[in-house]
Chains A and B, each alone.
Chain A
């Protein structure tokens, strides 16, 4: 069970706290950061770690713990902020993000950061590994679930669709794939660079079960993840998000894919993210 099991209101406050950490973490980075990608997945990852996942900082080796795979590894900064808020890593590590010898490198490294389950960064790796974890759980009679968050631009990588075939073929209903569909990627709009829509039809054609949610709305994320259909199929949740969500001058702006707030931008962002 999840050690926090926060209410929707508590999760909303937690998401705001995570966003403030994301702004400060990226502002401290000496090597840029993926601020937009960090912000778009906040509600998804916060809901998972503070309500959904059966895992806890003191159960890192429990073979029954649920597994979270950060397939869009470039959103490591946002992921670290959730891990820090949830007690997997000390919050005073966050200002070291991407510094030399930091335990928080620019992409997740499981040998460095407690709680990180898989080294990612090259895209299209999370789902195949998640498939292997899901098969291993089935073979071992484990009830654990495997959650993986991908980007939408990431889905151009063919390995995702190889994984989809295998997941459906083996009926991996213990696998939950969440697409952080923020509609932007490195060089612009996903619809213009390599369109993935209709995404739901594609997953369904591969034999997976698809649900939708408003990915920057905690209530919608939680409602969807807690009521996934029990149909024996691997589950996909298409989370409709905004890249940079929560900060007016970052949201929906492709240039924030690999930009960090500086100077008065930090103050402006933190002002917008103040608790009410």
Chain B
């Protein structure tokens, strides 16, 4: 397994390199300097960061103002507080005003584990999908994260990046080229298709390896580009299998499960869909990642078991 890296470190390195290349990037944080691991940036550019204190609404509003003033504004704080506390600022100041703001939802999903549901962000994709113009990405590994951020910083307009909160190993090598809208097939397979988002792509890949030992061929698709998304490409990637399973550390309504359901329905993909994630009536439990994912049925073993029971039905 390759060396793991925390996506926030990748993010900060991208910011540093962008400023060195001449991009006028101004990070805005809400006392979230440690959450965003942004100290190396501050040390390099001591006057550049704006810290507004524990105040997410003004963090997002200020970012929009900075963007209108010609800056590339990037907000860096915990995803749950960005999404919920500053929801109207995201809607109005960033999306509706179409300002050049990049929103980084850090430690998304249930990354905060035992800190419980105030700190979990399992609705961010569904919320952001409700705002029509913001681009939405969920990187699965450091190499992909770097490419998404480099793209986002040079792209004019609002972008949301869902960032996992744990160190992640690589799923790609240096030959990988991210492109907005692309559907990334990581593992070939012919019996079932697993479509996963963010850090759960690692669980899907591990599940595919476990299934291979049982002679079940599982295809794995990394859904990192939520908007834009080449719907036709996704539909074609789902051809030839009888079962499609989506995997996400997110509510199944509005997230990856919904994206795939919509595409399958619109393109008439003839397969059964099972959505794994946080279902109706649920919040993510409080606990560490293995426990949380086991409870939600999105750890690799539970995914594999779901596949086996679906095939045996």
A interface, CB within 8 angstroms of B: 63, 67, 110-111, 117-122, 124-125, 127-137, 139-140, 142, 158-159, 162-163, 165-166, 169-170
Contacts and interface: CB of A to CB of B under 8 A. Distances in A.
Interface stretch (B56-64, B151-159, B175-183, B221-229): B56-64
Most B CB contacts (10 A, CB to CB) among A128, A134, A140 go to A128
7 contacts: A118-B68, A128-B57, A129-B61, A136-B71, A139-B26, A139-B48, A166-B55
Given A125-B61, A165-B53, A166-B62, A132 B73 contact: yes
A170 B93 CA distance: 21
Interface in B229-262: none
A137 B69 contact: yes
Interface in B35-94: 47-48, 50, 52-53, 55, 57-58, 60-71, 73, 88-89, 92-93
A162 B69 contact: no
Contacts of B64: 128-129, 132
Given A159-B57, A162-B57, A129 B71 contact: no
A128 B58 contact: yes
Interface string B4-27: 000000000000000000000010
Contacts of A127: 61
B98 interface: yes
Contact of B69 (A119, A140, A159): A140
Given A139-B26, A159-B61, A133 B68 contact: yes
Nearest to A121: B92
Contacts of A117: 68
Contacts of B28: 132
B97 interface: yes
Nearest to A73: B92
A146 to B, nearest CB: 8
B96 interface: yes
A122 B63 contact: no
Given A162-B52, A166-B53, A132 B67 contact: yes
A67 B65 CA distance: 11
Contacts of A119: 92, 96-97
B89 to A, nearest CB: 7
Given A134-B65, A163-B58, A129 B53 contact: no
Given A125-B89, A136-B66, A136-B68, A165 B97 contact: no
A50 B48 CA distance: 35
A162 B81 CA distance: 15
B93 A128 contact: yes
Given A125-B93, A137-B69, A131 B55 contact: no
